[in-house]
Structure 1
């Protein structure tokens, strides 16, 4: 029988600033039936992790916990009957976890959550894909249902999910409008996105100049007034999809609840609809489906159909510095943690 493995992981024992991220000793036991033990090679850092660390994330309210939804690792061993042919020690695998726990050196994961990483795809690039690109796929396919040639509005188009939406939208030949700050607008030039400086331009005026009937989908991570304004930009039969609610500092949980309520109230208006994308719940409901979708995304990345951005790489022990860099917006692209 496999022996337990001593290692380290990042732990949040109290909510607070980046300094609460602590490197702690841990032990990963031998895998239970259906599990695979993975040596983590790279873990992605997302703004959801920052919210969880501060105690502002609805789906992570208990402590202690280890942040991180997506990782790439190397199979150590497993206890899986009728294992797929690719599940052998040493093979690289990726996962978007149903629950947080990615900032670690080793983990036991259900085999249905693992997708093999193809040869030729860089480990850090692969780690930048799962959460953001699976969220973007859900927004486009499950909720938005936009077809080639149709117009969509992407709020926060230079963020992690926004960037994924732009790349997948270009691949699907959508007409895209994207909002961003002035200093980030240049990042949209590669994606055939109509850039909108949300501070200096009237978003509705820019969109309706070319699409007076409105857009078929608005993808919103802001909530509040932006949600109502986006809903007014929808063409008949269009949909506004919320995938996050950026609240006021110190009031994020309250603003998240209010954002959900606003989304539901707007859905009562006839002629247009609203939806909320909560990827962790969608993954929990159907692990094998998301395993397959992640494999499709990796294949697309190998063909340059998408080009995930890696903005910076930090050692696992410097998770606090990685969080500060993300909060200060010092990098463009996904921040990756690498265990020693």
Structure 2
């Protein structure tokens, strides 16, 4: 088969699309003929060798990619949930299944939690061997781009807002980076939950897209400080929740945008993991800081059912052949456009 791959960490030029050994499935795995994959900023960090907590040590060459959808080609001897011909999408969180957190029903807290494409071989390839428990059914009528683009960002945003921040109707929320994958999912979910949604982006075109998917108020962070804009818009009160996946560049202003008793929830740090933190403002204003990673199987099912029904829409900024993977990474790194970048095996075009 052909696959996206790299043999060394580095810049975009380490990425290649070429021949790779065909995958062989284990007893609990499913062989998927991939129809489409989607990129996340995670793919950039993986390519560079940067894990969430430490530098990655991967078996090389490595196939990246945490998002994909396709058709079941074969199943392992222990697999009962799927059969050849089924339409499926990948949910990338891997857990051990037996630690105290897995037993308690929250595998995102697993002591050995890993992500397909980041810690183990990914799915940006013509075929992929995926554990059956990491696949979700895709109904007929859902296109492959949507099925590939939805799982990671929508489960991440759903857990952030519904489970971790407990966002309620009538509350106010600020979503940073609303043009990205998690950002545009968070805007839609917040609007669905009945919140008043503020969103930031860097261009008027991106802000228009954010408004189109549910933002009530938009802020161009290249033209004004978003914390000042929130203070002006709320009469100095601030918002109840801030979604910050940016990190070092925005952290202080995220805290400064919160109302007393407010919550900041984060799932990433694309500009740096070690921001300065004003502890005085946290304790004096009784702020809450919540981390969030991926979603539980139940959360995945809940949010993807809404995607399949059309309540939420993964916006696709660009669809490219997998052979153009360097350009796909460039779009993510340079923050071009709004929504998700999709890659399709050249053999499917």
TM-score normalized by the length of structure 1: 0.84
Q: Please give the residue correspondences for 1:69-84 in structure 2 after superposition, counting only pairs within 5 Å.
A: 69-81=66-78, 83-84=80-81
Aligned twin of 1:276:
291
Distance in 1 of aligned mates of 2:149 and 2:27: 29
* 2:331 aligns with one of 302, 305, 325: 325
* 1:309 aligns with one of 306, 311, 315: 315
Any idea what the Cα deviations from partners look like across 1:102-124, whole Å, max 9, x if unmatched? 21121221111110001111111
The answer as to whether partners of 1:166 and 1:193 remain within 8 angstroms in 2 is no
Higher deviation after alignment, 329-338 or 43-52? 329-338
Aligned twin of 1:120:
141
Aligned twin of 1:221:
245
How big is the shift at 1:319? 1.1
2:163 is paired with a residue of what secondary structure? helix
How big is the shift at 1:99? 2.3
Determine if the alignment matches structure 1 residue 156 to structure 2 residue 177. Answer: yes
The answer as to whether partners of 1:311 and 1:335 remain within 8 angstroms in 2 is yes
Summarize the Cα distance change of 1:330–1:236 in structure 2 as closer, same or farther, 3 Å threshold. Answer: closer
Q: Please give the residue correspondences for 1:123-272 in structure 2 after superposition, counting only pairs within 5 Å.
A: 123-183=144-204, 184-190=206-212, 191-211=214-234, 212-224=236-248, 226-247=250-271, 255-256=272-273, 258-259=274-275, 262=277, 271-272=286-287
1:239 is paired with a residue of what secondary structure? strand
Determine if the alignment matches structure 1 residue 108 to structure 2 residue 123. Answer: no
1:135 is paired with a residue of what secondary structure? helix
1:125 is paired with a residue of what secondary structure? helix
Determine if the alignment matches structure 1 residue 299 to structure 2 residue 305. Answer: yes
1:337 is paired with a residue of what secondary structure? strand
The answer as to whether partners of 2:79 and 2:132 remain within 8 angstroms in 1 is no
Summarize the Cα distance change of 1:175–1:276 in structure 2 as closer, same or farther, 3 Å threshold. Answer: same
The answer as to whether partners of 2:155 and 2:300 remain within 8 angstroms in 1 is yes
| Structure 2 unaligned blocks of 5 or more | 93-114
TM-score normalized by the length of structure 2: 0.82
2:4 is paired with a residue of what secondary structure? strand
Any idea what the Cα deviations from partners look like across 1:76-114, whole Å, max 9, x if unmatched? 111254713xx1211110012222102112122111111
* 2:89 aligns with one of 58, 78, 94: 94
The answer as to whether partners of 2:199 and 2:215 remain within 8 angstroms in 1 is no
The answer as to whether partners of 2:29 and 2:79 remain within 8 angstroms in 1 is no
Higher deviation after alignment, 183-192 or 156-165? 183-192
* 1:12 aligns with one of 6, 22, 35: 6
Any idea what the Cα deviations from partners look like across 1:303-331, whole Å, max 9, x if unmatched? 33111111222222221122223334444
RMSD of the alignment, in Å?
2.4
Summarize the Cα distance change of 1:14–1:82 in structure 2 as closer, same or farther, 3 Å threshold. Answer: closer
Distance in 1 of aligned mates of 2:266 and 2:66: 19
Any idea what the Cα deviations from partners look like across 1:154-174, whole Å, max 9, x if unmatched? 111111111001111111111
1:224 is paired with a residue of what secondary structure? coil
Higher deviation after alignment, 47-56 or 32-41? 47-56
How big is the shift at 1:221? 1.9
Any idea what the Cα deviations from partners look like across 1:124-164, whole Å, max 9, x if unmatched? 11111011111101110222111011001111111111100
Summarize the Cα distance change of 1:20–1:181 in structure 2 as closer, same or farther, 3 Å threshold. Answer: same
| Structure 1 unaligned blocks of 5 or more | 1-6, 248-254, 284-288
How big is the shift at 1:293? 3.3
Distance in 2 of aligned mates of 1:109 and 1:23: 20
Distance in 2 of aligned mates of 1:26 and 1:265: 54
Summarize the Cα distance change of 1:11–1:266 in structure 2 as closer, same or farther, 3 Å threshold. Answer: farther
Any idea what the Cα deviations from partners look like across 1:273-299, whole Å, max 9, x if unmatched? 1122232xxx5xxxxx42x43343333
